[in-house]
């Protein structure tokens, strides 16, 4: 699952990198010349497919399984990146869970599992990133544009992503003096397998018409935003929440 014969310059860790937006981010960063550590939670085949696609395109990648909410596993993930590639320059924390329910009917066990990944997981990954990113690095986390649109049924998910947004500027300020940027991307409706699952054609069509651009986003749209924020042209963007949603409020 690795190709270490290629020259290694900058190195990225992408959590949740085996599927959906995370996979698109991993592939885009690899195409831009970064060695990519593709983190995943449990789907070995999806992770292998992602790494194979990167290597087939001439990139450099390896897959490492780790639960983002497990501090020992995440420390070992960073250890692996440092051992294999020499350091870490970019961390993109795209791992997350989604659960929909009216607040009045919310299963608190579901809430705990959701917040374990989305809040604790973000803190665990951010903690390692803060300790280990090389000077001039970048950390990007993920929120959701539903924090602004406030769609019923998303209460638990939005609460978890509101926490992610809240720490963005704080972490940016805590890393003062190291040239490290910290930002959060909040996608709108994006055509991933997870997003489309369970929706009717009519629901998808309505969601597609909601943004002024009148389409769903693609994983590649979001990957392009990440490439900007973690690349040389995004160095003056720091401590920001970027709503990549085609113009939704």
Which pLDDT tens digit goes with each residue over 234-249?
999 999 999 999 998 7
Is 157 catalytic? The answer is yes
Handedness of CA 235, 241, 244, 249 (dihedral sign): negative
Helix (H) or strand (E) holding 188: none
Contacts by residues 109-117 (CB-CB < 8 Å, ≥ 24 positions apart): 110/156, 111/156, 114/156, 114/157, 114/160, 115/156, 115/159, 115/160, 116/69, 117/68, 117/69
Of the pLDDT bands very low, low, confident and very high (cuts 50, 70, 90), residue 2 is very low
The answer on pLDDT for 1 being more than 50 is no
60-110: per-residue pLDDT in tens?
A: 999 999 999 999 999 999 999 999 999 999 999 999 999 999 999 999 999
128-156, pLDDT tens digit by residue?
999 999 999 999 999 999 999 999 999 99
Above 60 in pLDDT, residue 7? no
Whether residue 183 contacts residue 140, with contact meaning beta carbons closer than 8 Å, is answered with: yes
188 pLDDT higher than 80: yes
Determine the Cα angle at 79 with ends 73 and 84, to 5°: 130
Q: Which domains does the chain have, with CATH numbers?
A: 11-242 (3.40.50.720)
Strand bridging mode 133-142 / 88-93: parallel
Q: What is the pLDDT of residue 63?
A: 98
From 40, 85, 154, 157, the catalytic residue: 157
Q: What's the pTM?
A: 0.94
Query: Tell me, what's the pLDDT at 193?
Result: 83
Mean pLDDT of 16-30: 97
Lowest mean per-residue pLDDT among 70-84, 152-166, 197-211, 214-228: 197-211
Q: Is the distance from CB of 184 to CB of 244 less than 8 angstroms?
A: no
Q: Which residues contact 69 (CB under 8 A, 6 or more apart)?
A: 116, 117, 120, 121, 124
Q: How far apart are CA 223 and CA 96, in angstroms?
A: 16
């Amino acid at each position: 699952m690795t190709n270490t014969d290629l020259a290694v310059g900058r190195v990225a860790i992408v959590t949740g990198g085996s599927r959906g937006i995370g996979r698109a981010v991993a592939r885009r960063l690899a195409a831009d010349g970064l060695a990519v550590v593709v983190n995943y939670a449990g789907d070995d085949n999806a992770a292998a497919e992602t790494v194979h696609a990167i290597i087939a395109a001439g990139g450099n990648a390896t897959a490492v399984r780790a639960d983002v909410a497990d501090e020992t596993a995440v420390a070992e993930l960073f250890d692996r990146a440092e051992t294999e590639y020499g350091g870490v320059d970019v961390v993109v924390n795209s791992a997350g869970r989604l659960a929909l329910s009216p607040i009045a009917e919310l299963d608190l066990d579901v809430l705990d599992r959701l917040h374990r990944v989305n809040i604790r997981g973000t803190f665990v990954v951010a903690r390692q990133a803060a300790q280990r990113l090389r000077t001039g690095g970048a950390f990007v986390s993920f929120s959701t544009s539903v924090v602004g649109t406030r769609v019923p049924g998303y209460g638990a998910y939005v609460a978890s992503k509101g926490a992610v947004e809240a720490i963005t500027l704080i972490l940016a300020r805590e890393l003062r003096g190291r040239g490290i940027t910290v930002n959060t991307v909040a996608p709108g409706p994006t055509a991933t397998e997870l997003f489309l699952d369970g929706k009717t054609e009519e629901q998808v069509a309505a969601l597609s018409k909601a943004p002024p651009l009148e389409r769903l986003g693609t994983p590649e749209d979001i990957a392009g935003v990440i490439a900007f924020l973690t690349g040389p042209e995004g160095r003056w963007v720091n401590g920001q929440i970027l709503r990549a949603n085609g113009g939704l409020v």
